[in-house]
Amino acid sequence: MARIAGVNIPTAKRVPIALTYITGIGPQTAETICEALNIDRARRVNQLTDAEVLAIREYIDANLTVEGDLRREVTMNIKRLMDLGCYRGLRHRKGLPVRGQRTHTNARTRKGPAKAIAGKKK
C-alpha cells in the first residue's frame, strides 16, 4: 500500500480514485494532480514507481491542505463562529441545520431521534 499524507491508499484502484481516499482531495483535485505530474489516469497505484509516489506526496504537501490540518482548520472555523455568537454559530451550538433548511419536519440527522411530547394524545 502506498502511504500518502498519512493515509494508506488502496493499491488496486486507479490513481485518481485512490487519491480521493485522502480527506480534502476530491475527484476534480485528483485529476488535477495526475495532470500536473503527467500520470496516466488509467494506471493503478501498484504500477506507480517510488519516484512517482514521492512526486505525488511532494505536490500534495506543497499545494494542498489535507487530512489533519484541514480537519483542524474546519473545526477552528466552526469554533470561531460559535464564539462570535453569530446566527450560524448559534445553529452549530444548538445542533440544528446551519444552511437554512426547514426544521418543522425533517432535519432528523441534525436533531437526533424524535422526542415524544408528554401529555399529548391523539
Quote the pTM value.
Answer: 0.78
Question: Where do the CATH 4.10.910.10 domains begin and end in the chain?
Answer: 68-111
- May I ask the CATH architecture of the domain 2-65? Orthogonal Bundle (1.10)
Fold of 68-111: 30s ribosomal protein s13; domain 2 (4.10.910)
Buried b (16+ CB within 10 A) or exposed e, 12-50: eebbbbbbbebbbbeeebbebbbeeeebeeeeebeebee
2 phi and psi angles, rounded to 5 deg: -80, 140
Q: Dump pLDDT digits (tens) for 34-49.
A: 999 999 999 999 999 9
Residue 69 has a pLDDT of 93
Average pLDDT over residues 52-72: 93
pLDDT tier at 122 (50, 70, 90 boundaries)?
low
According to DSSP, the residues that pair with 2 across neighbouring strands are: 9
Q: Dump pLDDT digits (tens) for 85-118.
A: 999 999 999 999 999 999 998 999 999 998 888 8
The identity of residue 44, as a single letter, is R
Give the span between the Cα atoms of 63 and 67, in whole angstroms: 13
